[in-house]
Amino acid sequence: MKTSKLFLTLGIAGLLSVSLITSAEEKTGKDIFVNNKCNMCHSINSLSIESKMPNKYPDLSEVGKLDLKTADIKKYLMKEGDLNGKKHAIKFKGDAAELDTLVNWLQTLK
Ligand code: HEC
């Protein structure tokens, strides 16, 4: 009786930790990029992400080379700041954590 309770408890603990691990599994910057339809306009040729409107908007394969400050890109994507004197086309709809992941990932594209 005691042992079966112990195993039951262990089983539940096991299930809990598995679900914790899967829910903690973060979306990648690429997931967030595609989920937010950034590829409506932007391609990332280096990763075979195609734009729905090819050649109309900048390809972001080397956006990390532009040496933009992470904070500036975030403001730009939230339409709180300009780049090259212009506001971005759309406002990012995700949350702050997603914006973090997205922009950190963009910065790695070189
Ligand atoms: C409706 C079209 C459209 C969508 C959707 C869009 N963008 Fe843009 N994006 C633009 C335009 C236009 C520019 C400015 C191009 C310019 O000034 O030469 C731009 C510029 C940028 C830049 C600056 C780089 C550069 O070379 O100018 C980044 C970074 C960027 N977009 C990221 C994103 C991300 C991330 C998303 C998704 C959350 C997104 N964009 C969605 C149209 C779009």
Q: How far lies 76's CA from each of 9, 53, 66, in Å?
A: 50, 21, 14
Distance between CA atoms of residues 92 and 86, nearest Å: 16
- pLDDT at position 68: 97
Nearest CA to ligand 1 atom 27: 58
Which ligand 1 atom sits nearest the alpha carbon of residue 94?
Answer: 38
Two tokens at 42?
A: 């932007």
For the beta carbon of residue 82, count every other beta carbon within 10 angstroms: 12
**Per residue in 43-55, pLDDT tens?**
999 999 999 999 9
**Per residue in 59-90, pLDDT tens?**
999 999 999 999 999 999 999 999 999 999 99
Could you give the dihedral angle defined by the CA atoms of residues 79, 83, 87 and 88, in that order, rounded to the nearest 10 degrees? -70
Two tokens at 97?
A: 């954590």
User: Is residue 109 lining ligand 1, measured as CB closer than 6 Å?
Assistant: no
Percent of the chain beyond pLDDT 90? Answer: 75
Which ligand 1 atom sits nearest the alpha carbon of residue 92?
Answer: 38
